[in-house]
A and B are shown apart, each in its own frame.
Chain A
Amino acid sequence: MVFPTDANVLVGLDRADDAGVYKISDDLALIQTVDFFTPIVDDPYWFGQIAASNALSDVYAMGGVPKTAMNLVAFPVKEMDIAILRRIIQGGVDKLTEAGVVLIGGHSVEDKELKYGLSVTGFVHPLHVLTKKNLQTGDRLVLTKPLGTGIVNTAIKAGMAPAGLVDKVTALMAGLNRTAAEVMASFDVHACTDVTGFGLLGHLAEMVCGSGKGVRVFSRSVPIIPEALEYASMGLIPAGAYKNKEFRDSMVHFEAGVDRSRQDVLFDPQTSGGLLIGVIGAQAADLVKTLWEARIDEAAEIGEVLAEPEEKIWVD
């Protein structure tokens, strides 16, 4: 299908990025994104927070500042207490407030299955838009949140995760990428995306495709929720992780020392995951240190961009 475009579309459907970008003037562009899903935690208030954090994340990944948001609600009004919906929306609004974003509208429909999310609008300078597609040889990759939320959520569904871990993972998913984005803004960043449904290697593959570069991932440096490795070894892995792996299999090479559980976690679909940042090599250590100082404690340098092998991901 061909979609019409115009000269002011800086990032559109032709290059599927985290969000669309439209130039308004020489020093202002609009970022637009929308995301909604079915509940991923039992607590409605936290579900609202996570959905909002997740929707905002795409704006941060484009290098922008979110400003306004609209609710999207599908709710089984006949079967479910409306108070649940109020809690969800309260969670969403509280998260928007934390991000300095205002809710200015929304729309709801009746549906058998509850869904919630937001469309978010943000601003960015047209020359400072960050996309997935600009990795340069010598860049280092920095990840700002640990992986494993999909696997841990599967273990929670199985009733095998302790309460403390449920809280920890909920807080992790609800955590904004705002601070990470603010820190990133003062470094020379070539490319950025946020890690969500395709897993770390799936999103990295998107960055590598068409870049003419290769990437090496230091799997032992990748921040991972420790329990996720254990649950992965027990087969508590969401189907999406296998789909992600199958889809990108031909691009990814694992060295013998990377055990199966770690491979699984690297493809684990994330909800509201961290930013994956390609920064010029000389600044990587300083970026990580500055992220730590901003209390993004699990940020880590996880890989490097190589001239070759082209469009391959080498995991060791």
Chain B
Amino acid sequence: MKEIDARGLACPAPVLHTKATLQEEKPAAVKVIVDNAASQQNVQRFLESQGFHTTLGQQGADYTVIGTCGPEVGEQAQKSVAPEADSKKIMVMCATDRMGFGDDELGLKLMVNFLRTLKEMGPDLWRLVFVNNGVKLTIDGSEVLEDLKAYEKAGLKILVCGTCLNHFKLLERKQVGETTNMLDIVTAAQLADKVISL
């Protein structure tokens, strides 16, 4: 188990340390040690937001959070396989970084909110595809970058159109998802039970 010693650090540093370790090393289990209850709660919330199951502990002046990835827990893993049989495969295709027409500022807000709320689809959400202006949501500075990263970490496959990135000269700036081509997109659309296009 990966151990992270975040004692002597004030909020939000313990969460940032944990976040960096998850990003760099992708451990299946972590033990985070902090020296106050607030940091312990914050690390617990963070690990749970990243799909970990958590257990809290206290040893003397040290507070610990142990996080384990879902599949590690045998029973949980089996449970999560079962519903997949009757779940749908939904593909969401974003060809724009704005939702609807009219006011651009409003459109962006709506799109951000839409992408954040998408998680309500649960396991039915199968592919998230970005084409044309939509690819701008996957680059640095995007308001939804952290959300998309969280989706990807949770196992959602995110496809980003390479032709489009190239067209906008954004290839280097893409921060999330796999760069993809039209054949992959067409295949995904064919395999999906439902395609939602924006």
Contacts and interface: CB of A to CB of B under 8 A. Distances in A.
Genuine A/B complex: yes
Interface stretch (B36-44, B81-89, B91-99): B36-44
Contacts of A239: 10-11, 36, 38-39
B46 A234 contact: yes
A23 interface: no
A233 B49 contact: yes
Contact of B45 (A234, A238, A243): A234
Interface in A150-168: 154-155, 157-160, 162, 164
A236 interface: yes
26 contacts: A154-B11, A154-B12, A155-B12, A157-B12, A158-B12, A158-B15, A159-B16, A226-B113, A232-B45, A233-B45, A234-B46, A234-B49, A235-B46, A235-B47, A237-B41, A237-B42, A237-B45, A238-B11, A239-B11, A239-B38, A241-B38, A242-B37, A242-B38, A242-B41, A243-B38, A260-B45
Contacts of A260: 45
Say which size band chain A's interface belongs to.
Answer: 20 to 34
B16 A158 contact: yes
Interface string B43-56: 11111010000000
Nearest to B39: A239
Interface string B8-32: 0011100110000000000000000
Interface of B: 10-12, 15-16, 36-39, 41-47, 49, 113, 116, 141, 143, 146-147
Nearest to A155: B12
B116 A230 contact: yes
A160 B44 CA distance: 18
Contacts of B12: 154-155, 157-158, 235-236
A234 B39 CA distance: 12
4 nearest CB pairs, A to B? A235-B42, A235-B45, A235-B46, A239-B38
A146 B36 CA distance: 29
Contacts of A237: 11, 38, 41-42, 45
Contacts of B39: 239
Nearest to A230: B116
A235 B37 contact: no
A164 B12 CA distance: 20
A103 to B, nearest CB: 34
A154 B15 CA distance: 11
Given A155-B12, A237-B11, A239-B38, 16 more contacts: A154-B11, A158-B12, A158-B15, A158-B16, A234-B15, A234-B46, A235-B42, A235-B44, A235-B45, A235-B47, A237-B38, A237-B41, A237-B42, A238-B38, A241-B38, A242-B37
Interface string A102-117: 0000000000000000
Interface string A150-193: 00001101111010100000000000000000000000000000
A168 to B, nearest CB: 12
Contacts of B41: 235, 237, 242
Contacts of A233: 45, 49
Nearest to B36: A239
Nearest to B16: A158
Nearest to A246: B37
Interface string A279-310: 00000000000000000000000000000000
